[in-house]
Amino acid sequence: MRVAILIGRDPDLRYSVHRGYVDAVLAVGATPIVVPMGPVEHVDRAVEVASMCDALLVTGGGDVDPHLYGEEAVPEVGGVDAGRDLAEIACVEDARSRGARIFGICRGVQLINVAAGGSLIQDLPSAGFHGHSDEERWNQPVHEIDAKPDSLAALALGGMTHVNSLHHQAVKTVGNGLTATAWSADGVIEAVEADGLLGVQWHPERIFGTDPRHLAGFRWLVGA
């Protein structure tokens, strides 16, 4: 089982990904294939490589360009990469067309939602939602979460009721064909899903080392 891990360009002059994504894929017995999301003119190459894999992991990073969901960017938006946005949308659409499983984390769930025609809350604090970006406690559960019973989100939680939280954006309008299946106590959407697709707003790749239950979403991704 090969899992394409889509990665961005950050910091400048580097392609990079948090090692937790790779380590989690290895931990569930699959082979990680790191696929860089390069310049706009090379989108087709990213799709070509990702399409050779059995599943797709869409990782965290900078903000998705608000123009892709018909809005002007607010001042708090940062880290936009047009090449990455377009390449990841194309990879997600390709994976859905061939029935490959998709797991999106943080930016990943946001990108998946935008690819399906949905929109995002561009900045949670400005919209009145606080406590969702706690970098100091990146590997600790910081807020409560409630998942719809028998959903993929509930499966990924593995019985947990609290998650870590490192985001300033979130799903606003749910994309076509997707369903919201988990929420924080203040009503922020924490997961969306569809057949063969799961996106979560928290970071299981950063915390599975201290709580192996966080590997549940990765096990689902590889069909375990």
Q: Active-site residues: which are they? A: 106, 203, 205
Q: Are 81 and 27 in contact (CB under 8 A)?
A: no
Q: Give the strand pairing for 31-36 and 55-58.
A: unpaired
In single-letter form, the type of residue at position 129 comes to: F
d(CA 89, CA 115): 5
Q: Give helix 82-97 / helix 43-50 axis angle, nearest 10°.
A: 40
d(CA 123, CA 132): 10
Q: Are 179 and 194 in contact (CB under 8 A)?
A: yes
d(CA 106, CA 190): 9
Q: DSSP code of 65?
A: P
